[in-house]
Structure 1
Amino acid sequence: MPADHSAPVTGGRTPTVIRLLVLATFVVILNETIMINAIPNLMTSLDVTERAAQWVSTAFMLTMAAIIPTTGWFLQRVTTRRAYAIAMGVFLAGTALSAIAPSFAVLLLGRIIQAGGTAVMMPLLMTTLMTVVPEHDRGRVMGNVTLAISVAPAMGPVISGLVLQVGSWRWLFVLVLPIAGAVTWFGLRHLDNIGEPQAGAIDVSSVGFAALGFGSLVYGLSKFEPDNVTTPALIVAAGVALIAIFVLRQLRLQRTGSPLLDMRTLLSATYTKALILMSVAFLAMLGSMILLPLYLQNLRGLSPLQTGLLVMPGGLAMGLLGPTIGKLFDRFGGRVLVIPGSVGVSLALAGFTQISMSMPYWQLLGLHILLMISLAAAFTPVFTLGLGALPPHLYSHGSSMLGTLQQVAAAFGTALVVTVMSARSTSLVESGTDAVTAHLDGMRLAFGVSAVLSLVVIVMAILLPNRADSPEHAAVEPEARTPELVKD
């Protein structure tokens, strides 16, 4: 029988359901970055080009972007246990298929299936956390969540670098399979249902518009190159048009049925500010995650494993400080963390504009740690403030929208820095500058663009309140409101 979660969770103790979901989320998010170092291995093993091999990461990101918009509706229609079982079951199937893939096409299918399970886990974790954890304790618990979602992407390249030193790319999936299986089994034994599922048919056209719209947008952004702008721009424009149709469809469904993604989340000023801050901060973080390995490997001659080890302390610092930052948020509120954190992001990115062929590695390490710690100081409070400003029946939709925009921001950040860097370096080479100097200058400019964009994060940080506003129920007409979760 499901446990009774109607009683508030006492401070100082993270609910078992959250611990289980954090563990599962860590395992599935790890796979988003675990294939980054495997491209050369794949090219040799499966006889594919570098451009084709890159699809093992691109397809994962595209699938996430296409599926996450549907998770808000999905999580309101199934029990917690069923959502968990489906997400982990799909992830396990994709992992097993990838491990035994006889061809690149089958591997790509396995990665797409993996991403389908991963897409559900983050919104499920966030929605459950906001439902079972009282407001006064959310910062601490959200800090533990930050540990999982920040350390996992940082550890992916490091783990893959170690594995690829001694084995083939298949071991990246073979090793994950029993861990994910054990996590799934343990979770299903101990996980309780939170709330009651609601009735409501899915709007098929909304699913199509969301998948094609967000998928096209992310795909188009991932294809931008200095010598290939027109075609990606047309794909992005088509994606934006389909997303506009999707939004109009959701606005209509809010009056007549069940929207796939409830736009009434944006009526909360605090949530909207948090959404903008998180998206731009994520863009800046992903931009640096792309540029720094390129600089360290292509210009400084480090191996993928050495690069992973150099950036690992920043990811670990970000994750390990998460719980402490969460406790500080519960005690002092968000502004004391978010404003210094946003300033730190800008300072770190500005510092990276000074990279050279002789910059000491300890300076690079220090700047990366500053960036990661600053992002941790911003992410935990902003997640909590933004979702905390929504009424409970919009938690799943708020989590879904946040996850969707993170994928779009990741694609946009990658496209932006690579395009700026390539355009600048190509221009300098054509004017007679040597290749190394041109590439360095291109990277400096790309970091500079990221630093300028991060000023938006500072502005949003100043505008955010210190504590979450009362959920803005008034923004949603009672007759149009989706029934709230009924806890067991």
Structure 2
Amino acid sequence: MTTSPPGAASDKLDRGVFVIAGVVVLGAIMSILDVTVVSVAQPTFITEFDTSTAGAAWSMTGYTLALAAVIPAASWAASRFGTKRVYMASLILFLIGSILCALAWNIGSLVAFRVIQGFGGGLLMPIGMMIMTRAAGPERVGSVMAVLGIPMLLGPIMGPILGGWLIEIASWHWVFLINVPIGAIALVYAFFALPGGDEEPGKKIDVPGLLMLSPGLALFLFGVSSSAEEQTFNAPRVYIPMIIGAILIAMFVRHAFRTTNPLLDLRLFRNTTLRGAVITMSLFAIAFFGASLLYPQYFIIVRGESTLAAGLLLAPQGLGAMLTMPIAGKLTDKMGPGKFVLGGLVLIAIGVGAFIALGTDTSYWYLCGALFIQGLGMGMTMMPIMTAALATLRGGEIADGSTLMNAVQQTAASIGTAVITVIFTTMLMPLSRAVMQAGGDQARVGKAMVENGVNVSDPAAVQAAGADVISDIASTYGNTFIVATVLVALTLIPAYFLPRKKMVVEGDADEQQVPVTMH
């Protein structure tokens, strides 16, 4: 049954699009939640598997590297096998990885199984964006992005709450087993709801491009991620893989402009709207994901809150995003993304800037209010940026565009996390050494801070180290937020050039809107 005829004038999302959106959102929730849920389980992995902080961190790094390696193949896979088949295969692989993670017997096996999980999770978001954009058409892509933005923005907020709750009432195994019922429902749902028939059986994969881009991204992000552990970018383990990765990526860029059917069509950058959106998204992801790392750490380390309490204190951010995201999504289709992105970035800058004044007893009303303001801005920013990138694309360009945006976001988020971590630990090192020289409990705290950077293994010991030490740590967080605020402000420059009126795609109606066929 065709629920949305080509060239339909209505900007509203019909029932058929919402049915498809349900499948995509379920997959996105699993993929994104699994990043943040595992982050709060790090201390548990250290204890259960008798490993170091660096060893446990590989349960996150391995997943990230797998995502980076598989995302570039999303566009080809969707064209070759069809979005429905690839999406269902990704769900199955993600579920297998989740079950294996719950059965892990040591940190090595957990990391290996997280890589399997990442290969499945890496395709869920780009393929899901392709499915939704084709189903709704470019005229309604803003509303579609608002739907997809719910898990993308709430994942970092709900993850710590869910992870802390599951570990407290059950065990670490349920951090992964929670995916099984959600994934099973999504798999059955996808079989009946997603349209098929969009495959191109004769399309061949760009093997040279794959051998350059996937390892290039993985090596580059490995180096970036290692900087957090090394606490500097000036270490061979950091800059050698980064340089090799950057060379491979540069080789792919040269290759992509010379071959007929590249793995990722970089000619899309000739589209000025998409180019501006990609630059804006890069700076935004660096600033937002970098700053997001610090909030729960401040609540846990400085204020002595539990993981669950820290997650709950972040809830105002999600509430703010939930208020503005649906409105911004609908109005972006009619008014263009530029106004909303600029307004949202201003709100985010105000919210992040409020954390510069952090102290040991800063009012929770003040902090939650700042997070709420950030959330209002987030709901007006991330999805309109993606709308700007995808709304001017047609037909086969949609697959390349969504793959490109996901690769950029993943890379920029990793860079932001690493940069903010290195800046924070660099500021913290003199304090750590001073504390270590003080003797007693403070020496224990200082040693943990020197060895583990921001991942202080014993927050209770930090509380016992004395008011002066805790105050200095709080000030270090505040100083790091100065950098985050500046990064958000810089994002205003490329955002200024985004369209501030309704975007119209030139071409035939059949190219602009793909019919939604229900099984």
TM-score by length of 2: 0.86
> 1:23 is matched with which residue: 16, 23, 26?
26
2:237 aligned with 1:234: no
Shift of 1:89: 1.0
Paired position in structure 2 for 1:279 = 282
Kindly provide the CA deviation profile for residues 27-75 of structure 1, in whole angstroms up to 9, marking residues without a partner as x: 2221121111111221222222221111111111111112112212221
> 1:250 is matched with which residue: 239, 251, 256?
256
Q: Which amino acid aligns with 2:6?
A: A
Shift of 1:229: 2.2
Paired position in structure 1 for 2:491 = 457
Counterparts of residues 37-186 of structure 1 (less than 5 Å): 37-186=40-189
- With 68-77 and 5-14 compared, the bigger mean Cα shift is at 5-14
Distance in 1 (alpha carbons) for counterparts of 2:4 and 2:107: 46
Change beyond 3 A, Cα 1:471–1:268: farther
Paired position in structure 1 for 2:458 = none
TM-score by length of 1: 0.91
Q: Which amino acid aligns with 2:246?
A: V
> 1:376 is matched with which residue: 375, 379, 403?
379
2:259 aligned with 1:260: no
- With 62-71 and 17-26 compared, the bigger mean Cα shift is at 17-26
Contact 1:3/1:193 (8 A) holds in 2: no
Contact 1:141/1:323 (8 A) holds in 2: no
Distance in 2 (alpha carbons) for counterparts of 1:3 and 1:110: 41
Shift of 1:484: 11
Distance in 2 (alpha carbons) for counterparts of 1:195 and 1:6: 17
Paired position in structure 1 for 2:311 = 308
SS of equivalent residue, structure 2 residue 264: coil
Shift of 1:286: 0.9
SS of equivalent residue, structure 2 residue 259: helix
Distance in 2 (alpha carbons) for counterparts of 1:206 and 1:135: 29
Distance in 2 (alpha carbons) for counterparts of 1:135 and 1:171: 39
Q: Which runs of 5+ in 1 are unaligned?
A: 474-482
Aligned residues: 475
Kindly provide the CA deviation profile for residues 5-30 of structure 1, in whole angstroms up to 9, marking residues without a partner as x: 65356524251223321222222221
> 1:352 is matched with which residue: 317, 342, 355?
355
Q: Which amino acid aligns with 1:124?
A: I
Kindly provide the CA deviation profile for residues 290-322 of structure 1, in whole angstroms up to 9, marking residues without a partner as x: 111221111111111111111123124314532
Q: Which amino acid aligns with 1:462?
A: Y
Superposition RMSD in Å: 2.5
- With 437-446 and 5-14 compared, the bigger mean Cα shift is at 5-14
Q: Which amino acid aligns with 2:249?
A: I
Paired position in structure 2 for 1:444 = 478
Q: Which runs of 5+ in 2 are unaligned?
A: 439-467
Q: Which amino acid aligns with 1:74?
A: A
Contact 2:33/2:159 (8 A) holds in 1: yes
> 1:330 is matched with which residue: 328, 333, 358?
333
Paired position in structure 1 for 2:370 = 367
Q: Which amino acid aligns with 2:63?
A: F
Contact 2:102/2:177 (8 A) holds in 1: yes
Q: Which amino acid aligns with 1:138?
A: V
Distance in 2 (alpha carbons) for counterparts of 1:341 and 1:41: 37
Paired position in structure 1 for 2:223 = 220
Distance in 2 (alpha carbons) for counterparts of 1:74 and 1:319: 33
Kindly provide the CA deviation profile for residues 175-226 of structure 1, in whole angstroms up to 9, marking residues without a partner as x: 2212211211122122212634252221323222222211111111111144
SS of equivalent residue, structure 1 residue 168: coil
Distance in 2 (alpha carbons) for counterparts of 1:343 and 1:320: 17
Distance in 1 (alpha carbons) for counterparts of 2:4 and 2:503: 24
Paired position in structure 2 for 1:479 = none
Distance in 2 (alpha carbons) for counterparts of 1:173 and 1:236: 31
Kindly provide the CA deviation profile for residues 258-295 of structure 1, in whole angstroms up to 9, marking residues without a partner as x: 21011011111111111111121111111121111221
SS of equivalent residue, structure 1 residue 169: coil
Distance in 2 (alpha carbons) for counterparts of 1:95 and 1:58: 16
Contact 2:224/2:414 (8 A) holds in 1: yes
- With 36-45 and 298-307 compared, the bigger mean Cα shift is at 36-45
- With 321-330 and 176-185 compared, the bigger mean Cα shift is at 321-330
SS of equivalent residue, structure 1 residue 102: coil
Paired position in structure 2 for 1:7 = 6
Change beyond 3 A, Cα 1:50–1:276: same
SS of equivalent residue, structure 1 residue 252: coil
Shift of 1:444: 2.2
SS of equivalent residue, structure 1 residue 229: coil
Distance in 2 (alpha carbons) for counterparts of 1:127 and 1:138: 11
Paired position in structure 1 for 2:445 = none
Distance in 2 (alpha carbons) for counterparts of 1:485 and 1:70: 24
Kindly provide the CA deviation profile for residues 343-390 of structure 1, in whole angstroms up to 9, marking residues without a partner as x: 112222221111111211111111112112212101222211111122
> 2:391 is matched with which residue: 384, 388, 393?
388
Q: Which amino acid aligns with 1:203?
A: D
Distance in 2 (alpha carbons) for counterparts of 1:216 and 1:435: 38
